[in-house]
């Protein structure tokens, strides 16, 4: 008798996390620090969207402070720059100057200098490279009231926009749309139509996730039923082999049984005496 054959089935299920794409530093808020050390760190802050505020409207004893921002790359295949615009601007002090370096380097001449007498800049500033440096310096001991609130947005300079296209032409990250911050400078990213489009994209993502989960569960059930059926067949084959029978020998035995029954019926009909009532003429018995 052959030994039992065991069929070991191993089912490995891999679950891949399905998440929406994430971007670094979405709509963070930064405050220019109060310090006597001019630009203490010079380390760039990589942002996709950001809000920058002055320390407070009445500063005393501040010599200088600065923040360096760098456009975060959402893809290695595209080039990115930074755009900045002022949401609020109030400047009464003539002793404090705000300098904006659109190339991210304060060793060159500042592109924009704002001080007393300046009104809120209306135009949107765009970086010459991928960085913008904001610097505040004081040139006298008299410090009056001043303050500002500006918004930064990283945008792609390529013609093909895969995220959200502002009416100003900037291509910003989809995550910056409908987040209660005006990243486009014209408010086109906060309008109801833009929010509706983003919700529609989110719903499509949920539907796609449901389809993937449904297909995964269907394949899982199919594998389970296949395992059960295969194990039953293997168990039945093992039982037949244990008693010396195989599907082939079992079919042959059934055929032999049918032949024996047919032969027995023929013999009985041949040697059975014919009743006298059915005998016509002379009946002979062998």
Taking residues 194-209, report their average pLDDT: 62
Return phi, psi of residue 175, to 5°: -70, -15
Q: Express each pLDDT in 221-246 by its tens digit.
A: 888 877 877 777 777 666 555 555 55
DSSP 8-class letter at 69: E
Residue 210 predicted with pLDDT over 50: yes
Distance (Å, rounded) from C-alpha 231 to C-alpha 6? 9
Angular region, 198: left φ>0, alpha ψ -120 to 50, beta rest: alpha
Q: What is the pLDDT of residues 107-132, one digit of tens each?
A: 777 778 888 878 888 889 999 989 99
Residues of the chain above pLDDT 70, percent: 58
Neighbours of 122 (CB within 10 A): 9
Question: Would you kindly state where each structural domain of the chain is located, as residue ranges?
Answer: 28-190, 214-268
Distances (CA, A) of 5 to 8, 202, 234: 10, 52, 8
User: Residue 252: what pLDDT?
Assistant: 58
pLDDT digits (tens, 9 = 90+) for 59-73: 445 566 778 889 988
* This model's pTM is above 0.75: no
pLDDT at 224: 80
Q: Span 203-214, mean pLDDT?
A: 56
> Any residues with CB less than 8 A from the CB of 195 and at least 6 apart, and which?
177, 178
Q: Which CATH class is domain 28-190?
A: mainly beta
Q: Which residues contact 140 (CB under 8 A, 6 or more apart)?
A: 95
């Amino acid at each position: 008798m052959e030994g039992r054959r065991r069929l070991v089935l191993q089912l490995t299920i891999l679950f891949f996390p399905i998440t929406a794409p994430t971007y670094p530093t979405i709509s963070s808020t930064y405050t220019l620090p109060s310090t006597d050390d001019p630009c203490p760190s010079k380390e760039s802050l990589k942002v996709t969207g950001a809000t920058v505020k002055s320390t407070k409207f009445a500063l005393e004893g501040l010599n200088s402070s600065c923040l360096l921002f760098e456009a975060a790359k959402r893809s290695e295949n595209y080039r990115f720059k930074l755009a900045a615009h002022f949401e609020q601007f109030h400047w009464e002090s003539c002793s404090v100057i705000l300098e904006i370096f659109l190339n991210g380097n304060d060793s060159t001449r500042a592109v924009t200098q704002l001080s007393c007498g300046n009104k809120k800049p209306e135009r949107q500033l765009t970086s010459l490279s991928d960085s913008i440096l904001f610097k505040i310096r004081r040139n006298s001991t008299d410090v009056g009231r001043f303050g500002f609130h500006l918004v930064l947005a990283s945008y792609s300079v390529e013609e093909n926009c895969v995220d959200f296209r502002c009416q100003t032409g900037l291509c910003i990250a989809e995550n910056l749309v409908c987040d209660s911050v005006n990243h486009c400078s014209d408010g086109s990213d906060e309008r109801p139509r833009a929010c509706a489009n983003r919700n529609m994209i989110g719903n499509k993502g949920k539907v796609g996730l449901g389809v993937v989960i449904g297909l995964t569960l269907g394949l899982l059930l199919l594998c389970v039923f296949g395992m059960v059926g295969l194990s039953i067949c293997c168990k039945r084959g093992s039982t037949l082999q244990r008693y010396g029978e195989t599907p082939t020998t079992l079919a042959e035995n059934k055929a032999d049984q049918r032949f024996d029954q047919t032969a027995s019926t023929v013999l009985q009909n041949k040697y059975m005496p014919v009743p006298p009532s059915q005998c016509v003429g002379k009946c002979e018995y062998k």
